[in-house]
A and B are shown apart, each in its own frame.
Chain A
């Protein structure tokens, strides 16, 4: 479990760095386009395409850090009122639902792959549309693995506690 935790933490750190680069990159691309159009009277559609592509990656990879930090917006006013077993039960439901959505995202990517893996639907030359869908699948994989990890960790710590109590 410790190794998995380390792996997940390292992955989130890597994603965090990538997110910073993506946001900075989008700003630079937009400013560059503005400069080229207004000052040099030239415009490159590729630049806005690339900004859009980076934006999609930022949007989906951001979910990974949000989930890791438990910062996804929730209407948790009722959840916070619950205690003990009721809260634990609801926590398990949250995790199972997150895992199911993650699986749904991965399966959807797999279903789309035959269609988007070619250049046919792509608006960028020599660049398959699948690259735009890939971050959704990565976020889906993370949501699933993290939810399963959290569930297993909670169950293990619970069984450890019970074992300690019995001795």
Chain B
């Protein structure tokens, strides 16, 4: 077992791809512990062979099509008119646009790489400093995987066998709360630094609304589909793709054949990155379970206290720390076999825990020094990482407050799914 863990940590630290580090150490573990070699193939394939996971490439494709078809620009223009009049207007528009985009894509990377570029460019040309623009953009990407649809919630639902529709509904209020919390912080910065704002015009807002209506109603279509039972989360992803394609090609006429092909390929390989990690992580967690390590860790955590609040705090700290280093798909697959028994013993609602877990991992993605979203934003916004590290720190405060609220007030997560999907 020592070889198994040491090889994993060493490979990860020396910069080998995460999927290869997990896969190679798991293969080494299997050989060393005398497992039949066919287990490797069985676990890797069965880890990915899930109908729910089909939604991952399709939601990524929807996000890519919206970026390539300039639908995101329409969303940002609308957000600018809607909240641009508040001090620090473009900062608020950045957050609102991310919230609307989150309702169609569910990928933080698609938000940071596509919409983020437009947002940062608009902010810096309007007098906002680069560090602040990049920090708002990075912080607002966290909303994407919480507000439905959400790729990490799909993975959680698949691994933990929890209804993805309920998880999606559970992410609505935390997503909105995060947007409000970030906007409050932007307002404080804007007043202090005298950032500009746009004059409010109801006429211009109405005109922009009419121009962008087809883009901004997508989240409503997807959410209505879940609530009224028209489609499953996987089918919703194909609806999102078809809708984005139709408005980009026939309404806005912004998408050509070459770009469409590029979007298809990009979506396939982006999702393959996550799926390969999930496949290898399944093998890795199989070894952990077989050797009783998962149980030992679970017993250790449960031995700390029998107070659910304290255990949740310990789990939050653990997940936040892991989220800073690892890809969320890997953590979900590796840690769920350890955490689910604990959560079940403590009687914590699995939908509540799923949203809290993803919230932790997403905050980890924007926490220095390893947050993946920070790397993307630093790259597309051409902001040095050390400046972004400094800038993002205040934005972690509202995100952590929302995390604490969602952890200790479960109704914030469970109220909406219970009302809409159980009633």
Q: Which of B173-181, B269-277, B288-296 contacts A (4 or more CB under 8 A)?
A: B269-277
Q: In this assembly, does A72 line the interface, its C-beta being within 8 Å of a C-beta of chain B?
A: yes
Q: Is the CB of B23 within 8 A of A26?
A: no
A/B pair count, beta carbons within 8 Å = 183
- Given A55-B53, A58-B268, A136-B45 in contact, is the A30-B18 Cβ separation under 8 Å? no
Please count how many residues in chain B sit with their CB below 8 Å of the partner chain's CB atoms: 59
Q: Which residues of B contact A112 (CB under 8 A)?
A: 38, 41-42
Q: Which residues of A contact B272 (CB under 8 A)?
A: 58-63, 65-66
For the complex formed, measure the closest distance between the CB of A90 and the CB atoms of chain B, giving whole angstroms: 5
- Given A27-B58, A59-B276, A65-B269 in contact, is the A90-B14 Cβ separation under 8 Å? yes
- Given A62-B273, A71-B269, A109-B41 in contact, is the A104-B27 Cβ separation under 8 Å? yes
Q: Which of B122-130, B137-145, B236-244, B308-316 contacts A (4 or more CB under 8 A)?
A: B236-244
Q: Is the CB of B12 within 8 A of A75?
A: yes
Q: Is the CB of B41 within 8 A of A74?
A: no
- Given A16-B265, A75-B325, A101-B23 in contact, is the A30-B37 Cβ separation under 8 Å? no
Q: Is the CB of B20 within 8 A of A73?
A: no
Chain B's closest residue to A33 (CB) is B235
In Å, the complex CA distance between A107 and B36 comes to 11
Q: Is the CB of A78 within 8 A of B268?
A: no
Q: In this assembly, does A98 line the interface, its C-beta being within 8 Å of a C-beta of chain B?
A: yes
In Å, the complex CA distance between A109 and B41 comes to 6
Residue-wise interface mask of B (331-345) relative to A, using a CB-CB cutoff of 8 A (1 in contact, 0 not): 000000000000000
For the complex formed, measure the closest distance between the CB of B84 and the CB atoms of chain A, giving whole angstroms: 35
Q: Is the CB of B40 within 8 A of A108?
A: yes
Q: Assign chain A's interface to a size class.
A: 35 or more
Residue-wise interface mask of A (7-37) relative to B, using a CB-CB cutoff of 8 A (1 in contact, 0 not): 0000000001001101110110011011000
Chain B's closest residue to A30 (CB) is B238
Q: In this assembly, does B402 line the interface, its C-beta being within 8 Å of a C-beta of chain A?
A: no
Q: In this assembly, does B200 line the interface, its C-beta being within 8 Å of a C-beta of chain A?
A: no
Q: Which 4 A-B pairs have the closest CB atoms?
A: A62-B272, A79-B15, A108-B41, A72-B17
Question: What is the interface of chain B, defined by CB distance below 8 A to chain A?
Answer: 11-21, 23-24, 27, 36-42, 44-45, 48-49, 51, 53-54, 57-58, 61, 230-231, 234-235, 237-239, 241-242, 261, 264-265, 267-269, 271-273, 275-277, 279, 325-327, 369-370, 372
A52-B49, A56-B45, A108-B41 known; 12 other A-B pairs, CB under 8 Å? A19-B264, A19-B265, A23-B264, A23-B265, A48-B51, A62-B272, A65-B268, A73-B277, A75-B13, A93-B11, A97-B20, A111-B36
